[in-house]
Structure 1
């Protein structure tokens, strides 16, 4: 059975950088058994109703500005899978989860930056999924849990975002040191993920130290993919932190394995 993952996609610059984090993701893709397909919940696709992609071949979306021009030439021409999308829709129907099909949207950088580092040949079918930051964490978790059986079919489930993501607090002159407030929040999160303490995690905004800095109330979309990924391992509740580093003072690069 494949695990599910929460993977930070960081800055778009990761797509052209060579550092400890990109090397870790490159190696992770080589170490994992080759999946039949990848289901990916991206922080950069927000929707009030769960969206399920039915796309034959994805275009690459450059949903950022002001970065190195070479980023805008990168293509990740992944194919979709109507078969796997249909299985997902059946599971959502069975579990009473409303959804819609999306037939034209490409892959945003929350998806393709991560996928390109894991599987650079773009030869594994991808089903892109939206997230709804307005849902309570319990409901986000339930959406992931509805898909937990897919892991037994060698389908890899990923939530792409960032545990600490506050663009207003970034220090672009990176000195390599992590801000203490970011570490305190991330340490609290790690302790509760490892205990699988759902009650505490679902109430992170009132219980976690520095929660309003790490996960700004106006921008929780990068944090919530962790609940979808965690829910996908509800049938095998264990969590392991595989990598953690920080850029720009407090932008987290973390990889959590669930299951």
Structure 2
């Protein structure tokens, strides 16, 4: 059975970078069993009701501004998987979670940047998923848990976001992490590795510097969803962590 993954996508330029993190994603994809399909929850698709991508073929969305022109020429021509989208909708319905199908939404950079690094040939079907940052952590976790049976069918469930993601406090000349960012990530790692849901569900009150690390919840939600998908095994392994611009963590967690 495939694990679920949480993969940080950092700045949009990540897809064109070559560093230890991008190499880790490439090698990880090679070492994992080849998935039949990928379900990806992207922090950059927000919706009040869970939306499920059901496009036959996805448009590549360049949902960012002010970056080098070459970045806007990046494409990821992934095809969809309508049957899998319907299976996901049924599982969510069984869990009492409302959802709607969306055949118009393309792949935003939270989805295609990491998929391109891991599966550059775009030859694995993809089903995209929105996130709702207004949900409490328990509800995020429950979404992932509802979809967990898909892992047994060869589907990779991937959350794309960032444990520390504060674009308002970027340090353009930084090569490491701000002290508060590191303190938050170290606290978080301890809770994930021990599967301490009580602490994780109350991270806003318990974690050091939570409001700095997670000023808005959309980048944190995919982690909780990916953990929910690995509920039965409750195993977690941090594969890599580094930082961009002081306040963007690039972490990859294997779950389950």
TM class by shorter chain equals over 0.9
Task: Give 1:250 deviation, angstroms.
Answer: 2.2
Task: Give 1:178 deviation, angstroms.
Answer: 1.5
Instruction: Provide the rounded CA distance (Å) in 2 between the counterparts of 1:86 and 1:34.
Output: 22
Alignment partner, residue 196 of structure 1: 195
- Give the SS at the match of 1:48: coil
TM-score by length of 2: 0.99
1:236 lines up with 2:237 in the alignment: no
Q: How many residues align?
A: 256
Alignment partner, residue 246 of structure 1: 243
Alignment partner, residue 48 of structure 1: 48
Task: Give 1:194 deviation, angstroms.
Answer: 0.5
Q: Equivalences for 1:1-259 in 2 at 5 Å?
A: 1-174=1-174, 176-216=175-215, 219-259=216-256
Instruction: Provide the rounded CA distance (Å) in 2 between the counterparts of 1:177 and 1:14.
Output: 16
Q: Could you give the per-residue CA deviations for residues 155-176 of structure 1, whole angstroms, max 9, x where no partner exists?
A: 00000000000011110123x2
Task: Give 1:179 deviation, angstroms.
Answer: 1.1
Task: Give 1:63 deviation, angstroms.
Answer: 0.4
Structure 1 unaligned blocks of 5 or more: none
- Give the SS at the match of 2:218: coil
**Over aligned residues, Cα RMSD in angstroms?**
0.7
Q: Could you give the per-residue CA deviations for residues 181-227 of structure 1, whole angstroms, max 9, x where no partner exists?
A: 111000000000011010100100000000010001xx221111101
Structure 2 unaligned blocks of 5 or more: none
Instruction: Provide the rounded CA distance (Å) in 2 between the counterparts of 1:124 and 1:68.
Output: 28
TM-score by length of 1: 0.98
Q: Could you give the per-residue CA deviations for residues 26-45 of structure 1, whole angstroms, max 9, x where no partner exists?
A: 11111111000000000000
Contact 2:176 2:242 in 1 (8 A): no
- Give the SS at the match of 1:187: helix
